[in-house]
Amino acid sequence: MNTRSLQVNDEIFMRRCLALASIAKSRGKTAVGALVVRDNEIIAEGIESSEEYPALVAHAEIVALLKAAEVLGTRDLSGCIMYTTAEPCFMCSYLLRETKIGEVVFGASAGQIGGTNPDFPLLTTDKIARWPVQLTIRGAVLEQECIAMLRKQH
């Protein structure tokens, strides 16, 4: 896939994440939306604090990963891409690595919203033997819109 079509697809999928984040925000939750995509098709969607799961673990990324595993009938999500409006936290990063997702594309970086600890980059570490494959990570897709969504008041 060429760089131009990659950028177009990234924007299309991130705009869907922003729409999901808006739904979460309208429900009084943190404005985060996430998708799992395979072969340019949305497999699963998640919004922050989904009613389907306990609030403590119902991050948008986790909801999308659980739904994708159910749809595909496997927890091996290699070949899939996670799109999310915010860089995943430690909890979400762990599940992303466990499910072998191949790529993560995010909007707002953790440094701007207080997510992932920069002292231990769980998404990119090669120091955990059970996670031998590194992810491709691309950030700052529609970054300003994602930051604005996170900061927007009810």
* Residues taking part in catalysis: 61
Measured CA to CA, the distance from residue 135 to residue 100 in angstroms comes to: 8
CA–CA–CA angle 47, 51, 53 (5° rounding): 90
CA distances from 115 to 53, 87, 108, 111 (A): 21, 7, 10, 7
Distance CA 148, CA 127 (A): 34
Q: At 113, phi and psi to the nearest 5?
A: -125, 5
Q: Give residue 10's region: left, alpha or beta (phi > 0; psi -120 to 50).
A: alpha
**Are the CB atoms for 92 and 85 separated by under 8 Å?**
no
